Amino acid sequence: MLKLFATGFHIVFTTRTPEVHVVSDPDDDKFIACAIALKAGYVVSGDKALVAVRQYQEIKIVTPREFLEIIGSLKP
């Protein structure tokens, strides 16, 4: 897990998020809104409704397994 931080992955918090209506489950829109506000590249989730979106704008929505495969393929 520390390798993620060493390679530039960080956790950031925001209080200002845009209003979006993207996910079939409206309770999950907050995750997309946070990702937009933080200019995130990925949302990592096991939630089926959220993962079904796959991508919104430039944000990829992936499962934890897919994310581990992505970061595993990055070269140091």
Question: For residue 30, what pLDDT is reported?
Answer: 92
Count how many domains the chain has.
1
Cα separation, 1 vs 34, in Å, equals: 22
Of 35 and 9, more confident:
35
Q: 64 lies in a domain?
A: yes
Is the whole-model pTM more than 0.85? no
What DSSP designation does 19 have? -
What are 48's two structure tokens?
């089926």
Question: For residue 54, what pLDDT is reported?
Answer: 97
Q: Which residues span the domain enclosing 71?
A: 25-76
Q: 10 lies in a domain?
A: no
